[in-house]
Amino acid sequence: MVLNSTREGKEPQEAQNARHFVPFVVAQAQFGILTGMIEEIRSILTKIGEDPTRDGLAHTPQRVDRAFRFLTSGYRMNADDLLNKALFDVAYDEMVIVRDIELFSLCEHHLLPFFGKCHVGYIPNGRVIGLSKIPRLVDMYARRLQVQERLTTQIADTINEKIHPRGVAVVIEAQHLCMIMRGVEKQNSVAVTSAMLGAFKDNQNTRSEFLDLARHPK
């Protein structure tokens, strides 16, 4: 089974909140320690030589504060809450692939975005994960400060721990603004990382089948 990831349906509550003003008290309850970045962001604006009181920047600290809370909302989610009600006993034992999951994350070295696509495959061993939960799992780990390598293995390890499949494969292809914008690498360079567990690690044919289906769809 190969599923192309689509993003429809209800937007997560935290995403909705992030686009609207969250009163301080509500924010404090929802986001815990992550309140009070507004002063620090205003200070950064001053230190880069800007005037934080000018029209265009007057509300920037609040916006950046909300944006950062959303982009790091994965810290306030966990895999148990996300997946536990979406694990099912199913006799299906062929490869399941969710391909082309959009991915947006922040590199932990520069706090700049990296973005691309994630392909996830696994071979069930009596249990499956609800298909819509796989992109949510990717989001949960992507909405943290990351390096692409760790993000890749966290997704694979979590699926492995949750349903003990015969194998898990995760491939991420991403472009890093910290490389592109700073001119470190060519504009179109793509970093590719993979995590292969179980049958995908042990069996060349299984691995090849996954890579063919995920990266070179017929």
30 is catalytic: no
Contacts to Zn ion from residues 103-132, by CB under 5 A: 107, 109-110
176 is catalytic: yes
Q: Which of 119, 146, 148, 154 is catalytic?
A: 148
Query: Least Å distance between CB 68 and Zn ion?
Result: 16
Q: Look at the chain and count its residues.
A: 218
Q: How far is CA 197 from CA 126, 168, 169, 209, in A?
A: 17, 5, 6, 14
Q: Which is nearer to Zn ion, 54 or 182 (CB)?
A: 182
Contacts to Zn ion from residues 23-82, by CB under 5 A: none
Q: Which of 151, 76, 58 is nearest to 106 (CA)?
A: 151
Q: Which is nearer to Zn ion, 27 or 179 (CB)?
A: 179
What is the pairing mode between strands 96-107 and 2-4? parallel
DSSP state letter for 103: E
Q: Which of 14, 50, 110, 175 is catalytic?
A: 110
Q: Which of 109, 149, 161, 164 is catalytic?
A: 109
Helix 38-47 vs helix 60-71: crossing angle, to nearest 10:
120
173 is catalytic: no
CA distance 53 to 68: 21
DSSP H stretches of helix in the chain: 13-18, 24-31, 38-47, 60-71, 79-83, 133-142, 148-163, 177-180, 199-202, 204-215
DSSP state letter for 208: H
Q: Which of 14, 175, 178, 185 is catalytic?
A: 178
118 is catalytic: no
Query: Least Å distance between CB 107 and Zn ion?
Result: 3
Q: Alpha-carbon Rg of the chain, whole angstroms?
A: 20
Query: Least Å distance between CB 153 and Zn ion?
Result: 18
Query: Least Å distance between CB 181 and Zn ion?
Result: 10
Q: Which is nearer to Zn ion, 59 or 109 (CB)?
A: 109
Query: Least Å distance between CB 46 and Zn ion?
Result: 24
109 is catalytic: yes
Cβ atoms of 101 and 133 within 8 Å: the answer is no
Q: Which is nearer to Zn ion, 164 or 182 (CB)?
A: 182
* Residue 178 touching Zn ion (CB under 5 A): yes
Q: Which of 86, 111, 91 is nearest to 176 (CA)?
A: 111
Q: Which is nearer to Zn ion, 103 or 107 (CB)?
A: 107
Catalytic residue annotation: 107-110, 148, 176, 178
* Binding site residues, Zn ion, CB under 5 A: 107, 109-110, 178
